[in-house]
Amino acid sequence: MKVEVLYIAECPNHKPAVEQAREALRTAGMPEVVNEVEVRTKADAEAWRFLGSPTVRVNGLDVEPEARGVQHFGVGCRSYADNGRRSGLPSKDLIGRALQEISASSAIPAQPGSHEKNGTESGVLVTGGLAAVLASTCCLGPLILVALGFSGAWIGNLSVLEPYRPWFIGAAVIALVFAGRRIFRPTTACKPGEVCALPATRRMYKVLFGIVTGLVVVALAYPFLARFFY
């Protein structure tokens, strides 16, 4: 069971919310582990789907059921509705009901920092990059090796990959399309834990995407430029 408290630094209800969450976990007989996540900027708020400080989540779900469909994110404070009243602090009972709900349904929605999701994009990009490298190696590889001063009949062996170049390019393009749809998806359409929802991870994958795209462009353009080098 993953319990998180998302907060802004100046929020007076941050620490009380953490204590409420720990008490609810203690009452439920669960480990009193609460992850604290500081939200600093509006971009962070959009990425984390932050409804205000403090936001308490259980396995990625807001403890306030009425707030789960809200799409207005930003840096600020929030209040909770509980038994017809509103408070800036979620009650222990509200958190406890969320714990029971998740335990009963065994629901585990996407969570911020999910390595499994991140691994999907990285695997696709690595595959695409490998295909793009193989597509360009058969033709561009010998030219680069000769330019660097290498020589030998073994360099000609790289040309055996030439018949497979269209297949390699096709595989790389498919990988780019699949990964690009997830990486460049608007932040508002992302779920917590997806690559497009995490700013730092999103930037890293964009860089990888650009590198693989460059390799594919080289592989596609080389046959038209080869006459200038040979």
3-state secondary structure 178-215: HHHHHHCCCHHHCCCCCHHHCHHHHHHHHHHHHHHHHH
Rounded mean pLDDT for each run of 10 residues along the chain, 230 residues in total = 92 94 93 93 91 93 89 90 86 92 63 47 65 57 49 51 69 76 63 56 75 76 56
What pLDDT sits at residue 223?
A: 61
Yes or no: say if 100 and 27 are a contact pair by the CB < 8 Å rule. no
- Structural domain contains residue 137: yes
What pLDDT sits at residue 176?
A: 74
Domain tally for the chain? Answer: 2
- Structural domain contains residue 110: no
Element (H, E) at 85: strand 85-87
Using the 3D structure, point to which of 105, 130, 165 is the last residue of a domain: 105
Using the 3D structure, point to which of 53, 70, 105 is the last residue of a domain: 105
Using the 3D structure, point to which of 105, 128, 156 is the last residue of a domain: 105
What pLDDT sits at residue 200?
A: 60
DSSP class of 34:
E
User: Where residue 65 sits, what CATH number does that domain have?
Assistant: 3.40.30
Query: Does one domain contain both 30 and 68?
Result: yes
Residue 139: domain span: 115-228
